[in-house]
Chain A
């Protein structure tokens, strides 16, 4: 697999990464066990009203944090029930008002050894589980595509570096908060955040003018940096966030399994409009992505005018969510269908 014949010369490595230690197979097995054969309905990958737990995400790796979250939550719940249960029993059994007389003991070696050892064992298990997920996350090798992400106050820039071993020339654009959200969020705008919708989905503050378009079933390497202050690139459905730091380049990867539109936000305080620089990733089937990319490349060769907006013959539904550059109606449909929800 050819990777990363990157043309970005001003980049340095973000850090030393140990090679995968062979725990990937294990991690994949656990993942398969938990994720089942199918990934979740991608609609649930974006924040839902009343949502109580973390999303499982839609990528090869995103079940790792979900799985760990659930295991850790379960462990904590069990410990909590035992400890608080003992406490409540004590509070009812040993009330002075019920005639309880205080005992004198203040030591029990056996008990102390037990409640030191058992947590250690639980921790070892949790540590072992986490390490597997961490090692697989750290391995950005073998990617089929590279996208450079740059954070600015208060927008994101995406530059397509290479795809399937071929360098990409002149495909890059700035992605910022969509106009409707931006009008609505002004102090005293009197506009209703509930009215900011794409189809059935409320996209207030979670929509952009031009989403990052990527293919599914492709290991994509992101190289992430910033132009002014520190930002953090986070799409919950991808399962991770990583800081965009001026002068540094961080690397991370994803492999999206389900086509759809996935929304996230900047996660590092970056100034007054920190809350207003969302991230939208639109994952297309490979063929449609290839078409989209070809159009972008063609447009990129044209004089550097406005961001490429090829004539879209059909009225694209959900025009704010779908890229203005939607290659075809099928692409637009693919992007919007998962956005539906019950």
Chain B
């Protein structure tokens, strides 16, 4: 169909390599590496999801029916590690890889070979981590937070630590690449304050990654030396402090949870204006809010530790700081709603997921505000209320945003339209069952059910059964997602236009669909009205 102006006079060697191995294993192309990240992420999503199915099956009714308690703990631990480091983070890196160069008019990532390396570390890290399931002694079972002294009892600690080191190296390289690309490779005229919000969100996220991944590496290395080299960082008998680990871990861990949500904010900020056919409300406020949230993420870590016996002054400080986060987050939600107000709305699958994101993420934000209130947190802490909270922000937040992004850009990637009917089926199944799955967990937590337990009193039976049914159906619904993606990539007959969506703005829609192997080899001439935020006054 259309030929990219940027693609006219180039030789054949600029197309994708025809050799499968050369193309996919030795690639330095941001699009191919982006695809690899996304496939990896989807695979991890199903592996982590299968662990969740084991958890929900055991919790279907009171009594132990399927697995031993220790294996249950392995499942909760591995579910979290695989979903966080295998599914959510690589999905955002994949989306960033694919879209950031396209959105800022760059020919590729700034450091293409490092891009290849940062991806190919990941499969090895995960083989290492998952192999522990088949080793004597089993997988890590002390929770993804790996609190000592419990985590030091695990025979597979060294495997987990080495896997985390590898993932951390991968993340840091990915983050350096993204920062270098955004700061150095924008096309002339793509000023920082004309960048898409998704690019902004990734720029800020990348700085968070660089700041905190080394902190995690340090924390787990101290675990390693405590276990194998006789140090006592976290051993009170040797003059250490078990709580020190929690401080270090959560100094990583809280920015980490924003690493998993800021790019989602960016995605939603692209999709809502497109399907509202109206510029995003308060562009600068959106960017500023992301930056403010990123800053606050560094000074709230101890809200994960309100029950460890912090001094009163610390509890008050971390409570106030945590509550403050709801101000910039609230601004973002209000701005999305205002973007829709006065627009001309249509409800294709990406928009449906974006709207569900706004509502359900906000519910997760509400429970987050409740958790910030320390006296109430003394009750909520480590219960299913917390489980419900972080699944609302991570599943209906991060994962829904990733699905929205997939539907939004899939036609651009494959050159073919996905099935809108099956996309909507996937959406409605997901949005209904995810609430059946997680909403009752609020009640369980409030009634007194601790998290990470394999069995429970019969008082918790009803809501657990409802939650498990929702879990099985939500899990099954994701098979539809895989089906829609595979259909779109290989079987769909419906060609996608270059500007896939009527209201879409931004450079990625000026290149053909599917996006050619190389784009913007010559910097594009930027017309401000082509950009989503070309005429930013506010």
Contact = CB atoms under 8 A, between A and B. Distances in A.
Given A18-B312, A248-B242, 4 more contacts: A47-B447, A109-B538, A269-B73, A275-B453
A123 B312 CA distance: 19
Given A126-B323, A185-B64, A245-B242, A68 B375 contact: yes
B512 interface: no
Interface of A: 14-18, 46-55, 64-66, 68-69, 72-73, 76, 79-80, 83-84, 86-87, 90-91, 94-97, 100-109, 111-112, 115-116, 119-120, 123, 126-127, 129-131, 133-135, 137-138, 184-189, 191-194, 202-206, 228-230, 232, 234, 236, 239-243, 245-248, 250-251, 264-276
B281 interface: yes
Interface of B: 62-70, 73, 141-143, 147, 149-150, 153, 235-237, 241-243, 276-283, 285, 307-313, 315-316, 319-320, 323-324, 326-327, 330-331, 333-334, 337-347, 355, 358-359, 362-363, 366-367, 369-370, 373-379, 381-383, 443, 446-463, 503, 537-538
A245 B243 CA distance: 8
Nearest to B385: A54
Q: Which 5 residue pairs spanning A and B have beta carbons closest together?
A: A247-B236, A275-B453, A250-B309, A107-B538, A133-B375
Nearest to B442: A52
A66 B340 CA distance: 37
B141 A97 contact: no
Nearest to A63: B375
Contacts of B379: 54, 65-66, 69, 236, 239-241
Contacts of A189: 63-64
- Indicate the member of B63, B64, B341, B447 with the most A CB atoms within 10 Å: B63
Nearest to B449: A47
Contact of A47 (B62, B312, B460): B460
Nearest to B325: A123
Contacts, number: 323
Given A130-B374, A138-B312, A267-B383, A119 B62 contact: no
Given A87-B340, A205-B456, A248-B242, A267 B450 contact: yes
B149 A230 contact: yes
Nearest to A84: B359
19 contacts: A50-B463, A72-B369, A84-B359, A87-B340, A95-B346, A112-B331, A116-B327, A119-B326, A130-B375, A185-B64, A194-B62, A240-B375, A247-B242, A248-B242, A250-B309, A267-B450, A269-B73, A271-B141, A274-B73
Nearest to B142: A269
A130 B373 contact: yes
A100 B344 contact: yes
Contacts of A269: 73, 142-143, 147, 150, 451-452
Contacts of B319: 127, 130-131, 134
